[in-house]
């Protein structure tokens, strides 16, 4: 085979790949990882695509990166969980409108040995203060994700600056929830995670939920179509259709019906917004 033919055939496959993606009715959702890693999309999307004929392609990254990608017009819909950042996103004209979608909560998981003695606590500020006091290992996302932003806010509320112990007892992994759980469990550190990721996580070893039930650990997910005025390339009709379905009775019921190991992972609350 000559080089010219090689180039021609690969160029053909390149343009083909591009054309297929452009032709279908498909949208790109810039999403937080928890909704993808927990299997929620695997459950929801076939139902939605079956009804609408619209294919939904999910790019699962941290909330910070998802928002950044959407600002660059590399997505049609944003589904994340950091309300202040989401409101800023809409206020800056990047998104059309933010709607509450569903919630669950954050928990702090720890090893059986429980070095800071926080197991069973529900006051998250007191628990964090206790972990800092004991200088027990704590693995943080450290990646500007929704979970990380929440964790930073909770440390602030607890009146502790954990970054003074950075590299010592406070370990910022700078990676996703799953990677941080793997690392934290490997080093025997406490980790704050959303409950959905935790329930569906499969490398728990001797870890269990230590701190839970504080109102401050509430975790709200929101959905925002990307603004076509800012991004002319956005497929706003399809994106709006998917967003509308998610907050509709059918979509909300589907979210509520999704379970892992008999436990509901996400609680729909679009009606309240």
Partner 1 sequence: MQDIGEAFHLALSLVLSGDADLFEIVGLSLQVSLSATLIACAIGLPVGALLAVSRFRGRGAVLVLINALMGLPPVVVGLLVYLYLSRSGPLGFLGLLYTPGAMIVAQTILIVPIVAALSRQVLEDLHGEYAEQFRSLCLTRWQSITTLLWDGRYALMTVGLAGFGRAAAEVGAVIIVGGNIDHLTRVMTTAIALETSKGDLPLALALGIVLLVIALGVNAGVQMLRMSAARQASYGAAANV
Work out whether 153 is an interface residue with partner 1 (CB under 8 A). no
CB of 89 to partner 1, least distance (A): 15
* Interface size with partner 1, residues (CB under 8 A): 40
* DSSP structure class, residue 24: S
Of the candidate residues 104, 130, 182, 219, the single one contacting partner 1 (CB under 8 A): 182
Q: Please select the residue that binds partner 1; options are 119, 126, 134, 179, rule is CB under 8 A.
A: 179
Binding of partner 1 by 60 (CB under 8 A): yes
Site for partner 1 in 224-243 (CB under 8 A): 231, 233
Q: Does 44 bind partner 1 (CB under 8 A)?
A: no
CB 77 to partner 1: min, Å:
13
How many Å apart are CA 247 and CA 245, to the nearest integer? 5
> Using CB under 8 A, which residues numbered 73 to 102 contact partner 1?
73-74
Cβ–Cβ under 8 Å, residues 144 and 67: no
Task: Quote the tokens at residue 184.
Answer: 């934290």
Residue among 56 and 132 whose Cβ is closer to partner 1:
56
| Residue spans of beta strands (DSSP E) within the chain | 26-31, 55-60, 77-80, 99-110, 138-140, 170-172, 190-194, 208-211, 218-225, 259-260, 263-264, 267-268
Of 147-155, 163-171, 197-205, 244-252, the segment contacting partner 1 by CB under 8 A is 197-205
Say how far apart CA 61 and CA 82 lie, in whole Å.
Answer: 13
Determine, following the binding rule CB under 8 A, whether residue 57 of this chain makes contact with partner 1: yes
Question: Residue 144 corresponds to which tokens in the numbers above?
Answer: 């500007």
**Which of 197, 219 has the CB closer to partner 1?**
197
Applying CB under 8 A, which part among 55-63, 99-107, 118-126, 153-161 lies near partner 1? 55-63
What DSSP letter does each residue of 78-146 carry, written as one string? EEES-HHHHHHHHHTTSBS--EEEEEEEEEEEE-TT-TT--TT---HHHHHHHHHHHT--EEE--SS-H
Distances from the Cα of 114 to the Cα of 118, 163, 186, angstroms: 7, 22, 14
Residue 67 binding partner 1, by CB under 8 A: no
With binding defined as CB under 8 A, does residue 203 bind partner 1?
Answer: yes
CA-to-CA distance for 256 and 269, rounded, in angstroms? Answer: 10
Q: Which of 155, 170, 190, 201 binds partner 1 (CB under 8 A)?
A: 201
Q: Note whether 37 binds partner 1 by CB under 8 A.
A: yes
Q: Map tokens 């343009």 to a residue.
A: 15
Q: Quick one: 181 exposed, middle or buried, by C-beta within 10 A (0-12, 13-18, 19+)?
A: buried
Contacts with partner 1 by CB under 8 A lie at 3, 6-7, 9-10, 13-15, 17-18, 20-22, 28, 33, 37, 41-42, 57-60, 69, 71-74, 176-179, 181-182, 200-204, 231, 233
């Amino acid at each position: 085979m000559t080089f010219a033919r090689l180039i021609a055939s690969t160029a053909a496959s390149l343009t083909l790949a591009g054309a297929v993606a452009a032709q279908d009715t498909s949208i790109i959702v810039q999403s937080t990882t928890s909704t993808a890693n927990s299997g929620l999309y695997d459950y929801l999307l076939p139902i939605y695509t079956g009804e609408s004929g619209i294919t939904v392609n999910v790019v699962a990254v941290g909330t910070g990166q998802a928002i950044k990608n959407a600002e660059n017009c590399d997505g049609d819909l944003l589904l994340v969980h950091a309300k202040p950042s989401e409101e800023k996103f809409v206020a800056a004209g990047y998104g059309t409108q933010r709607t509450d979608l569903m919630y669950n909560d954050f928990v702090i998981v720890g090893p059986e040995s429980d070095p800071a003695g926080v197991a069973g606590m529900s006051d998250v500020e007191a628990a964090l203060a206790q972990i800092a006091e004991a200088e027990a290992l704590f693995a943080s996302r450290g990646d500007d994700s929704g979970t990380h932003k929440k964790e930073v806010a909770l440390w602030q509320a607890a009146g502790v600056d954990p970054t003074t112990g950075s590299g010592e007892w406070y370990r910022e992994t700078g990676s996703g929830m799953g990677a941080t759980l793997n690392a934290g469990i490997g080093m025997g550190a406490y980790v704050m995670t959303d409950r959905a990721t935790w329930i569906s996580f499969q490398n728990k070893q001797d870890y269990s939920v230590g701190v839970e039930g504080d109102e401050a650990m509430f975790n709200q997910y929101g959905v925002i179509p990307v603004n076509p005025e800012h991004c002319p390339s956005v497929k706003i009709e399809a994106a709006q259709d998917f967003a509308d379905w998610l907050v509709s009775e059918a979509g909300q019921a589907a979210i509520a019906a999704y379970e892992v190991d008999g436990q509901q992972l996400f609680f729909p609350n679009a009606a309240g917004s």
